[in-house]
């Protein structure tokens, strides 16, 4: 039955079905208070009176009052009875704005992510099952801030053979993507007295912001067709490089400059941070080994599963010079103690079982084909574009004919439901770069790729005609 | 066949089986350089000479040299031939020390973790499978820094009904455990001009360190049998409280003080951070609702899966006043962008399917029985201890008879293979607290619990006899 009763002129509807009378009473009172229907200071009837009113036991009412007093909704003052406690206005219930979504986008050629529809869900779940079936209980507790030994061992072996990284498992710290790894490094650098970090002329803006937030001043290295001009390093305390495949220009760091930057580190004691974000994806040339292998005590190697698998995994790793391990671990401990254990165990099993290599081989084949289709589609003389940075990675640089406005092209593409990003997005000096698009050809699901490239091609053709 | 050849007096053993001659040559050269056998500056034979020596094509040698030049191991200077590049000493291969492990510990009654052997591995994997089978691809990309809507919706509902938290999904930010949530809050507080944070007299030391690292000055609230003395808040900008079950004393914050601290926040604009670390575990009394429900715009509610499931998951959540959402999200974006998507999806499914409630009900029953067994074992008059803080949570405070030294007891327990922690571990002023143990009765696996308690009891009996 549903009972209806009133306190101080406020009608309360109480569903007294079943035996949960007290819970119902508490909940009705809570609602009346939080909704503002019972105002602060309002005196409630005595438990005896209310119990008689409702036809329930007095103790039930007294217990409910007691509970709400304990929770702070009511106050009970000897001699003055039970009253509604002073409370602020109800919480603002306006939803905070959801993250910006490109609502009308049907095709997406922005760089930075692989084809998420190709994430190997079944193989990942199978690896998780195998890993969890043998993992010791300790792995689910607070653990070594460097990460679980299972994953560090698997990575040491994988990185050694696939990327020429020289490190034992004890030099590896697992972190929540490159983002966290870089963040921790910035903190450690700043704490050790470093003040300046050199970065490449084109770079993710979030990366710059993380460095600045941690008190580092940025200096800029220009990038040309042989990669970052490391001769401009000067007195920087550290440098962040993308030697295998400059992001977003796509050039590798030339051999002489690789040697040169190592010399710089040896001479000045400076630290090199090697962001090897897509080192697994090479198409036309023998893979370049990591820079780290040349001089492990001068170089931090930073890798990630974001491009090879998915950014949502939030799994990255730092391979550290011995002198930095303890400090990075201390920073990690304060920041979040550990990275999620189940994902770590799963990735370890995924690597050791060979599933990771298989996935990369398969992806490499697919992305290489996509790249070739992109190049074919855009090579027509009438478009007047120049494509570069395509020997590796998941994106291409498409330079527009001189005088073209990349923002205009991007806006026109948006009108056609195609999301694009321009080189300006990554330029430290937004007024000083050739007009170009950074085309992420890995991102669309396979079924949408042909249409996405066709639209890009159409937008470029339209721009060429109207110029 | 295995070929042997020499450069500059250094013998190199080359396995020329199969067709991977070039790879074998590169690898042998890399090894010779990185191992120091070929010293910097050493001039290599011309590719013609070496090819003749090895009986392989000259191009193979030239390609191998080219690759190693590209990788920085060798340098090629016109007119001076190919030389070994200048390189630093090989990386220190001494393993960094592994995290300290209580090597001889057979039983562990330290607080801070649940029974990890009871982690519901099958149910978790089943939830992961269901969640991944329906999740959209976008969930595996970079996503809303607040976390995936699936999990925020599930938590908003769960926290509302189980903990009396008032918040829509848009007020929730998923983070990597309480550790990261608190870290982000400290950054946001400091950036907004806050300088002082009040904390309880007994607290995890890592928490204090995180606040200090972010530039906050700590003030201390004494804790008595009614919880933190919030009247001592004074001019603090914010306060961190454990209202449901003070850590580690175990007292709940008294009703009047709950109201009082909300008044303080309303009057001064101060922020309350409610650390509800084990709010799900209540035994002898009706659960106290969260403080947050009283005044959502003054209080940040911080919850975690570390006690209900496992710390290794690294899943926590903040329920935020509207004015803090954007700033916390900005800090999260810089720190690590997102928390792992697969764990988020899995926890959402785990909650929505009812598995979370079932697991908590089961755990509550088990831990309650353990608590009762602990109390029975230690209640003997001869031990002279006083047990408190046991109406809730996963640990008990065991006060030792006056004059006893908790460090002595802990050392004796260690001799018996039993790991314990004392109240001193959590005391802001290590010289001012009664001698006491903080006994985590949830931690041992079920089969080891009886022995663990028997040892504790024996150690306490021995101490009582010898005093």
Contacts of B266 in chain A (CB under 8 A): 86, 88
Residue B430 has pLDDT above 90, yes or no: no
Task: Provide CB contacts within 8 A for B377, sequence distance 6+.
Answer: B453, B454, B456, B457
Instruction: Choose the mutation target among B68, B314, B317, B448 for the interface with A, i.e. most A CBs under 10 Å.
Output: B314
Residue carrying structure tokens 């671990």: A329
The secondary structure of residue A251, as a DSSP letter, is P
Query: pTM (2 decimals)?
Result: 0.82
Lowest mean pLDDT among A76-90, B164-178, B431-445: A76-90
| DSSP character string of A434-455 | --EEEEESSSS-HHHHHHHHHH
- What is the Cα–Cα distance from B442 to B425, expressed in whole angstroms? 19
Contacts of B296 in chain A (CB under 8 A): 90-91
* pLDDT tens track for A235-245: 999 999 999 99
What is the DSSP pairing of strand B2-7 with strand B10-15? antiparallel
Lowest mean pLDDT among A99-103, B81-85, B171-175: A99-103
Helices (H), B384-431: 406-415
How distant, in Å, are the alpha carbons of A31, A72, A81, B167, B252 from that of A85?
14, 7, 12, 20, 19
Residue carrying structure tokens 């175990």: B250
| pLDDT interval class at B57 (50, 70, 90) | confident
Among chain A residues, the shortest Cα distance to B339 is held by A314
Instruction: Choose the mutation target among B126, B329, B340 for the interface with A, i.e. most A CBs under 10 Å.
Output: B340
* pLDDT tens track for B345-375: 999 999 999 999 999 999 999 999 999 999 9
Of the partner residues A95, A116, A133, the one whose CB lies closest to the CB of residue B170: A95
Give the closest-approach CA distance of A335 to chain B in angstroms.
Answer: 5
What does the block give as tokens for B170?
């848009």
The pLDDT assigned to B10 comes to: 47
Residue A3 has pLDDT above 80, yes or no: no
How distant, in Å, are the alpha carbons of A129, A189, A280, A450, B50 from that of A183?
32, 10, 23, 38, 47
The pLDDT assigned to B285 comes to: 66
Among chain B residues, the shortest Cα distance to A129 is held by B125
The pLDDT assigned to B46 comes to: 83
- Cβ(B212)–Cβ(B348) below 8 Å: no
Say how many C-beta atoms besides its own lie within 10 A of residue B361's C-beta. 11
Residue A94 has pLDDT above 90, yes or no: no
- Cβ(B275)–Cβ(B211) below 8 Å: no
The pLDDT assigned to B94 comes to: 41
* pLDDT tens track for A397-409: 999 998 899 999 9
Among chain B residues, the shortest Cα distance to A23 is held by B286
- Cβ(B230)–Cβ(B259) below 8 Å: no
Average pLDDT over residues A431-442: 94
Among chain A residues, the shortest Cα distance to B205 is held by A334
Q: CB A313 to CB B341 under 8 A?
A: yes
Cβ-in-10-Å burial (0-12, 13-18, 19+) of A227 comes to buried
- What is the Cα–Cα distance from A109 to A377, expressed in whole angstroms? 14
- What is the Cα–Cα distance from B43 to A183, expressed in whole angstroms? 42
**Bigger pLDDT: B426 or B286?**
B426
How distant, in Å, are the alpha carbons of A109, A111, A400, A415 from that of A397?
12, 10, 9, 22
Give the closest-approach CA distance of A99 to chain B in angstroms.
Answer: 6
Chains A and B: how many Cβ contacts under 8 Å? 287
Average pLDDT over residues A97-112: 67
What does the block give as tokens for B243?
């209202």
Q: Which helix (H) or strand (E) holds A227?
A: strand A227-228
Q: CB A255 to CB B72 under 8 A?
A: yes
Task: List the Cα angle A425/A206/A155 in 5-degree steps.
Answer: 115
> Cα-Cα-Cα-Cα dihedral of A324, A329, A335, A337, to 10°?
170
Average pLDDT over residues A128-136: 96
- Hey, which bits of B255-339 come out as E strands? 271-275, 299-304, 316-319
Instruction: Choose the mutation target among B126, B135, B180, B336 for the interface with A, i.e. most A CBs under 10 Å.
Output: B336
Give the torsion sign (CA, B228, B230, B234, B237).
positive
Give the closest-approach CA distance of A267 to chain B in angstroms.
Answer: 10
* pLDDT tens track for A308-365: 999 999 999 999 999 999 999 999 999 999 999 999 999 999 999 999 999 999 999 9
Average pLDDT over residues B176-188: 98
The pLDDT assigned to B89 comes to: 45
| pLDDT interval class at A14 (50, 70, 90) | low
Q: CB B140 to CB A311 under 8 A?
A: yes
What does the block give as tokens for A229?
């001009």
* pLDDT tens track for B88-121: 544 444 433 333 344 467 899 999 999 999 999 9
Provide, rounded to the nearest whole percent, the portion of chain B with pLDDT above 90: 71
Give the closest-approach CA distance of A7 to chain B in angstroms.
Answer: 21
Residue B75 has pLDDT above 90, yes or no: no
What is the DSSP pairing of strand A316-319 with strand A299-304? antiparallel
- What is the Cα–Cα distance from B414 to B412, expressed in whole angstroms? 5
- Cβ(A69)–Cβ(B255) below 8 Å: yes
Q: CB B71 to CB A258 under 8 A?
A: yes
Say how many C-beta atoms besides its own lie within 10 A of residue B277's C-beta. 23
Contacts of A138 in chain B (CB under 8 A): 116
Residue A451 has pLDDT above 80, yes or no: yes
How distant, in Å, are the alpha carbons of A134, A146, A158 from that of A339?
19, 9, 20
What does the block give as tokens for B378?
């230690």
Of the partner residues B295, B310, B336, the one whose CB lies closest to the CB of residue A87: B295
The secondary structure of residue B424, as a DSSP letter, is G
| DSSP character string of B37-102 | SS-TTPBPPPHHHHHHHHTS-HHHHHHHHHHHHHHTSEEEETTTEEEEPP-PPPPP-SPPPPPP--
What is the DSSP pairing of strand A172-175 with strand A107-108? unpaired
Contacts of A70 in chain B (CB under 8 A): 252, 255, 258, 288
**What does chain B come to in residues?**
467
**Helix, strand or coil, per DSSP, at residue B202:** strand
* pLDDT tens track for A219-261: 999 999 999 999 999 999 999 999 999 999 999 999 999 999 9
Q: CB A72 to CB B312 under 8 A?
A: no
Average pLDDT value for chain A? 89
- Cβ(B175)–Cβ(A176) below 8 Å: no
- Hey, which bits of B312-420 come out as E strands? 316-319, 386-388, 395-399, 418-419
Contacts of B447 in chain A (CB under 8 A): none
Nearest to A287 by CA among A299, A296, A278: A278
- Tally of CA atoms within 13 A in the half-sphere of A292 that contains its CB: 29
| pLDDT interval class at A37 (50, 70, 90) | low
- What is the Cα–Cα distance from A178 to A183, expressed in whole angstroms? 8
Q: Which helix (H) or strand (E) holds B174?
A: strand B172-175
- Cβ(A397)–Cβ(A250) below 8 Å: yes
The secondary structure of residue B425, as a DSSP letter, is G
ipTM of predicted assembly, 2 dp: 0.82
């Amino acid at each position: 039955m549903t009972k209806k009763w009133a306190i101080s002129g406020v009608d309360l509807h109480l569903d007294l079905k079943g035996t949960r009378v007290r819970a119902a009473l508490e909940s009705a009172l809570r609602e009346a208070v939080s909704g503002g229907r019972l105002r602060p200071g309002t005196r409630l009837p005595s438990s005896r009176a209310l119990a008689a009113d409702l036809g329930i036991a007095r103790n039930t009412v007294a217990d409910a009052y007691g509970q709400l007093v304990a929770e702070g909704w009511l106050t009970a003052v000897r001699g003055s009875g039970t009253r509604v406690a002073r409370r602020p206005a109800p919480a603002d219930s306006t939803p905070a704005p959801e993250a910006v979504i490109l609502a009308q986008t049907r095709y997406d050629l922005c760089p930075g992510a692989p084809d998420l529809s190709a994430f190997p869900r079944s193989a990942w779940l199978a690896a998780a099952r195998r890993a969890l079936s043998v993992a010791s209980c300790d792995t689910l507790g607070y653990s070594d801030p460097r990460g679980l030994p299972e994953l560090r061992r698997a990575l040491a072996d994988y990185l050694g053979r696939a990327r020429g990284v020289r490190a034992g498992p004890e030099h590896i710290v697992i972190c929540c993507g490159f983002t966290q790894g870089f963040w921790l490094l910035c903190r450690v650098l700043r704490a050790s007295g470093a003040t300046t970090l050199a970065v490449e002329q084109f770079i993710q803006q979030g990366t710059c912001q993380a460095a600045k937030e941690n008190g580092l001043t940025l200096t800029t290295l220009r990038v040309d067709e042989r990669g970052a001009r490391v001769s401009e390093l000067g007195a920087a305390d550290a440098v962040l490089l993308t030697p295998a495949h400059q992001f977003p220009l796509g050039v590798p760091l030339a051999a002489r400059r690789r040697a040169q930057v190592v010399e710089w580190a040896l001479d000045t004691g400076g630290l090199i941070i090697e962001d090897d974000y897509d080192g697994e994806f090479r198409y036309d040339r023998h893979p370049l080994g990591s820079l780290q292998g040349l001089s492990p005590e001068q170089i931090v190697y930073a890798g990630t599963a974001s491009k090879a698998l998915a950014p949502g995994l939030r799994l990255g790793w730092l391979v550290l010079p011995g002198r930095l391990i303890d400090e990075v671990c201390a920073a990690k401990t304060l920041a979040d103690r550990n990275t999620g254990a189940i994902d770590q165990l799963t990735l370890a099993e995924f690597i050791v079982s060979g599933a990771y290599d298989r996935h990369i081989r398969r992806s490499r084949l697919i992305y290489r084909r996509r790249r070739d289709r992109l190049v074919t589609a855009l090579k027509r003389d009438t478009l007047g574009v120049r494509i570069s940075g395509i020997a590796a990675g998941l994106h291409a640089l498409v330079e527009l004919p001189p005088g073209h406005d990349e923002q205009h092209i991007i806006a026109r593409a948006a009108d056609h439901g195609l999301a694009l990003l321009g080189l300006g997005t990554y330029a430290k000096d937004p007024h000083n770069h050739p007009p170009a698009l950074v085309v992420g050809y890995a991102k669309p699901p396979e079924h949408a790729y042909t249409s996405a490239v066709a639209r890009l091609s159409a937008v470029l053709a339209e721009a060429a005609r109207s110029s």
